[in-house]
């Protein structure tokens, strides 16, 4: 039973409109192939591209031209050429990312993500798997289920892939043995069950010989099907399920061409929407009714998951980029604390407590991660104790955001449950993450509105609250100058409080040391205390080395615009070290004191401080006077 070759040329010649329409309406299956080159991955992909006869991949068009040229010499030659090309390309591109290849058959379009399989490329596999509907797990029939088979399956399952194909390859090299096939399938079935893979389809194949790829092979009379391509063409795509779920539409932008039109544009993540539907905008929770469902091609009577539309509302309610429009009676959750699973993708390890940008759909917030509860050994799936996550590590950790976000658990929605973390300084994507669930304490702790507001506190004190944040090396003069500034403010009848690094470490922060993570937590707590005091209407002065830009910026972000005044006490290291007020530099140089800023721990100088004082050029009094002048008026 040979499958008739798909010959688009004939259809194009006869009925180009019909061809284009059928092509447009075909649905798309995204899948990922897992396995190494040794397992025959390139050969299998080559076989799929070759047998489907339609190659749209730019890099392959030259190869295709070549294969047409040599076509008269028989199939094996151009097929081999194609495979060589794929393997060469994979070697060159191996560290870059994921190679996506496009091909089509009569029934479906396909995008296959071809990722390197070694453990050091876990992040590439995660990238490829994050958008895939199905995973083809490739096994060398001679070797059976390997550590990497388990790792790949685990990662794909973790990333939410629900359809698995176990392609037992190189069957020609085990004499098409049914026993061997059955043995491998039984072995894999046990493992799959243990990690929660509900179902998989096992197919005995030879990518090289082409057995059971497009047609049932005479070499495996014991196998009744399906063959690989048929399975890929017919496997259900979960689209119906996606449409049956309640409406979720993350707003990408507000479309306001003129005063009469205000629409909210985005791609429908799940559900359907039509004029007259009651919707709720989150996180605000306001409700309204949909008036129109607008597209470039005109208004729709109904739009479904996957479509990009612009909605207009019956009422003028607030709605902007990052909000989520949802079914009014089944809204998603809003929370700011979560348990998450993280895949770390950067050379710089996770720094617990540091602020990262978190992007989830169209929402963008600042987030901090707790030290991991555990990391997962991706080969054995054991849970390991971990203080951080290194490149390619996977771990479970609690995360909190500075503002509530609209979300759904990743298992329910990749769009509203999957996120990335971005380093605020380098702008690199450092992690891919999945929201597992929100923490109950976040749901049950509400902000208690009070009758006396921060404005009332400030008005009573007849001043504008501020946080004067002194930063600089140890011995640069932060405490001395802050003290002089506070004395001046006090003489001016201002209400102040000076938070000093050493003093805070005797009480509130006595549990913290001087590792990077502890320094970050130290500053976070001081920031929160300074914020409370500013809420109480005080002018707060803080004298902390606060060596990291990211944490100073984190405190800046906690406060209303203009209240955080960064004062860089700019004293050269040699000068501060020569002063050595507390004898700490000497200890650090001798090695008796570890992680000392300026010696064996970095200091990141402010780039744009509100005020800079140079203690080599200015006396303490001059510096204090300059600061007072800079912060006037005080009301």
* Cβ atoms of residues 481 and 471 within 8 Å: no
Q: Which of residues 44-103 bind ligand ADP (CB under 6 A)?
A: none
Q: Could you say whether residue 579 binds ligand ADP (CB under 6 A)?
A: yes
Q: Which of residues 308-347 bind ligand ADP (CB under 6 A)?
A: none
Q: Smallest distance, Å, CB 514 to ligand ADP? A: 14
State which residue, 539 or 543, has the beta carbon closest to ligand ADP.
Answer: 543
Separation between Cα atoms, residue 245 and residue 507, nearest integer Å = 51
Q: Which of 194, 348, 462, 619 binds ligand ADP (CB under 6 A)?
A: 619
Separation between Cα atoms, residue 286 and residue 328, nearest integer Å = 9
Q: Return the residue nearest ligand ADP (CB atom).
A: 477
Phi, psi angle pair for 468, to nearest 5°: -90, 105
Q: Which of residues 238-267 bind ligand ADP (CB under 6 A)?
A: none
State which residue, 96 or 616, has the beta carbon closest to ligand ADP.
Answer: 616
Q: Smallest distance, Å, CB 356 to ligand ADP? A: 29
Q: Smallest distance, Å, CB 499 to ligand ADP? A: 12
Separation between Cα atoms, residue 316 and residue 309, nearest integer Å = 19
Nearest to 273 by CA among 308, 309, 319, 304: 304
Separation between Cα atoms, residue 322 and residue 184, nearest integer Å = 47
Nearest to 503 by CA among 479, 524, 467, 520: 479
Q: Could you say whether residue 593 binds ligand ADP (CB under 6 A)?
A: no
Q: Smallest distance, Å, CB 99 to ligand ADP? A: 54
* Cβ atoms of residues 468 and 631 within 8 Å: yes
Q: Dihedral of the CA atoms 197, 203, 209, 213 (nearest 10)?
A: -90
Q: Judge whether 194 counts as a catalytic residue.
A: no
Distance from CA of residue 313 to its chain's centroid?
Answer: 31
* Cβ atoms of residues 314 and 288 within 8 Å: yes
Instruction: Read off the tokens for 538.
Output: 């005080």
Nearest to 27 by CA among 275, 242, 245, 293: 242
- Interface mask toward ligand ADP for 478-517; x: CB under 6 A: xxxx------------------------------------
Q: Could you say whether residue 584 binds ligand ADP (CB under 6 A)?
A: no
Separation between Cα atoms, residue 229 and residue 213, nearest integer Å = 6
Any alpha helices (H) in 15-166, and if so which ranges? 16-25, 41-52, 58-69, 75-93, 122-130, 147-158
State which residue, 114 or 566, has the beta carbon closest to ligand ADP.
Answer: 566
Tell me which stretch binds ligand ADP (CB under 6 A): 314-322, 490-498, 508-516, 611-619.
Answer: 611-619
**Burial of 191 per CB tally in 10 Å (0-12, 13-18, 19+):** middle
Q: Smallest distance, Å, CB 475 to ligand ADP? A: 5
Q: Could you say whether residue 623 binds ligand ADP (CB under 6 A)?
A: yes
State which residue, 296 or 616, has the beta carbon closest to ligand ADP.
Answer: 616
Q: How many residues bind to ligand ADP according to rule CB under 6 A?
A: 17
Tell me which of 42, 308, 546, 590 is the catalytic residue: 546
Q: Which of 331, 372, 475, 609 binds ligand ADP (CB under 6 A)?
A: 475
Entry field: residues in the chain: 635
State which residue, 212 or 474, has the beta carbon closest to ligand ADP.
Answer: 474
Phi, psi angle pair for 542, to nearest 5°: -125, 135
Q: Smallest distance, Å, CB 572 to ligand ADP? A: 12
Q: Smallest distance, Å, CB 500 to ligand ADP? A: 8
Q: Which of 130, 363, 476, 542 binds ligand ADP (CB under 6 A)?
A: 476
Instruction: Read off the tokens for 567.
Output: 């004062």
* 3-class DSSP state of 13: helix
Q: Smallest distance, Å, CB 589 to ligand ADP? A: 17
Q: Which of 272, 474, 496, 542 binds ligand ADP (CB under 6 A)?
A: 474
Separation between Cα atoms, residue 79 and residue 461, nearest integer Å = 83
Tell me which stretch binds ligand ADP (CB under 6 A): 220-228, 251-259, 534-542, 619-627.
Answer: 619-627
Tell me which stretch binds ligand ADP (CB under 6 A): 218-226, 345-353, 453-461, 469-477.
Answer: 469-477
Q: Which of residues 516-545 bind ligand ADP (CB under 6 A)?
A: 543
Q: Smallest distance, Å, CB 619 to ligand ADP? A: 5
State which residue, 477 or 606, has the beta carbon closest to ligand ADP.
Answer: 477
State which residue, 219 or 483, has the beta carbon closest to ligand ADP.
Answer: 483
Q: Could you say whether residue 477 binds ligand ADP (CB under 6 A)?
A: yes
End-to-end Cα spacing for the chain: 88
Separation between Cα atoms, residue 432 and residue 351, nearest integer Å = 15
State which residue, 355 or 547, has the beta carbon closest to ligand ADP.
Answer: 547
Separation between Cα atoms, residue 149 and residue 523, nearest integer Å = 44
Q: Smallest distance, Å, CB 559 to ligand ADP? A: 22
Q: How many other C-beta atoms lie within 10 A of the C-beta of residue 541?
A: 27
H helix or E strand, kind and range, residue 506? helix 501-506
State which residue, 385 or 616, has the beta carbon closest to ligand ADP.
Answer: 616
State which residue, 270 or 546, has the beta carbon closest to ligand ADP.
Answer: 546
* Cβ atoms of residues 33 and 45 within 8 Å: yes
Question: Active-site residue numbers?
Answer: 546
Give the residues lining the site for ligand ADP (CB under 6 A).
472, 474-481, 543, 579, 581, 615, 618-620, 623
């Amino acid at each position: 039973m040979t499958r008739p070759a798909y010959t688009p040329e004939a259809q194009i010649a006869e009925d180009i409109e019909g061809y284009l329409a059928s092509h447009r309406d075909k649905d798309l299956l995204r899948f990922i192939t897992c396995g190494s080159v040794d397992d025959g991955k390139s050969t299998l992909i080559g076989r799929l591209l070759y047998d489907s006869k339609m190659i749209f991949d730019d890099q392959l068009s030259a190869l295709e031209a070549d294969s047409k040229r040599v076509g008269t010499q028989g199939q094996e030659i151009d097929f081999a050429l194609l495979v060589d090309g794929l393997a060469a390309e994979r070697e060159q591109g191996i560290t870059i990312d994921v190679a996506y290849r496009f091909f089509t058959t009569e029934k479906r379009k396909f995008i296959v993500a071809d990722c390197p399989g070694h453990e050091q490329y876990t992040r590439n596999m995660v990238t490829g798997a994050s958008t895939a509907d199905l995973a083809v797990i490739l096994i060398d029939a001679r070797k059976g289920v390997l550590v990497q088979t388990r790792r790949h399956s685990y990662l794909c399952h973790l990333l939410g892939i629900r359809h698995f194909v176990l392609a037992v390859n190189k069957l020609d090299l085990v004499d098409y043995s049914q026993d061997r096939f059955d043995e491998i399938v039984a072995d894999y079935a046990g493992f799959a069950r243990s990690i929660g893979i509900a179902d998989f389809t096992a197919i005995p194949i030879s990518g090289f010989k082409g057995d059971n790829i497009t047609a049932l092979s005479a070499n495996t009379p014991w196998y009744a099907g399906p063959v690989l391509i048929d399975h890929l063409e017919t496997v259900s795509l979960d689209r119906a399920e996606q449409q049956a779920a309640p409406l979720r539409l993350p707003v990408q932008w507000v479309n306001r061409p003129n005063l009469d039109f205000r629409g909210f544009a985005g791609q429908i993540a799940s559900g359907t929407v039509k004029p007259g539907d009651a919707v709720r905008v989150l996180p605000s929770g306001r409700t309204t009714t949909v008036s129109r469902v607008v597209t470039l091609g005109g208004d729709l009577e109904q739009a479904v998951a996957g479509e990009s539309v612009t909605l207009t509302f019956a009422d003028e309610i607030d709605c902007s980029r990052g909000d989520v429009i949802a079914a009014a009676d089944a809204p998603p959750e809003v929370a700011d604390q979560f348990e998450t699973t993280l895949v770390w993708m950067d050379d710089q390890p996770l720094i617990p407590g540091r602020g990262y940008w978190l992007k989830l759909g169209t929402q963008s917030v600042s987030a901090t991660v707790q030290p991991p509860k555990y990391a997962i050994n991706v080969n054995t799936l054991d849970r390991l104790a971990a203080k951080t996550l290194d490149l390619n590590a996977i771990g479970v950790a609690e995360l909190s955001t500075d503002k509530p976000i609209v979300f759904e658990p990743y298992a329910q929605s990749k769009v509203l449950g999957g996120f990335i973390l971005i380093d605020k300084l380098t702008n690199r994507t450092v992690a891919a993450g999945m929201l597992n669930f929100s923490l109950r304490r976040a749901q049950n702790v509400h902000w208690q509105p009070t009758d006396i507001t921060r404005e009332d506190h400030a008005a009573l004190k007849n001043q504008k609250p501020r946080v004067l944040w002194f930063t600089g090396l140890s011995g640069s003069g932060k405490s001395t100058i802050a003290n002089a500034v506070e004395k001046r403010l006090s003489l001016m009848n201002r209400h102040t409080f000076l938070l000093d690094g050493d003093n805070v470490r005797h009480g509130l922060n006595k549990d913290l040391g001087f590792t990077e993570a502890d320094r970050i937590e130290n500053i976070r707590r001081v920031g929160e205390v300074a914020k409370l005091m500013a809420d109480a209407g005080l002018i707060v002065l803080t004298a902390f080395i606060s060596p990291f830009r990211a944490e100073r910026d984190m405190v800046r972000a906690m406060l209303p615009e203009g209240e955080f005044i960064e004062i860089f006490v700019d004293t050269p290291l040699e000068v501060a070290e020569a002063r050595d007020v507390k004898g700490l530099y000497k200890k650090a140089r001798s090695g008796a004191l570890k992680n000392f800023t300026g010696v064996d721990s970095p200091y990141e100088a402010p780039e744009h401080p509100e005020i800079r004082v140079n203690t080599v050029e200015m006396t303490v009094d001059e510096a204090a006077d300059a600061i007072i002048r800079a912060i006037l008026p005080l009301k």
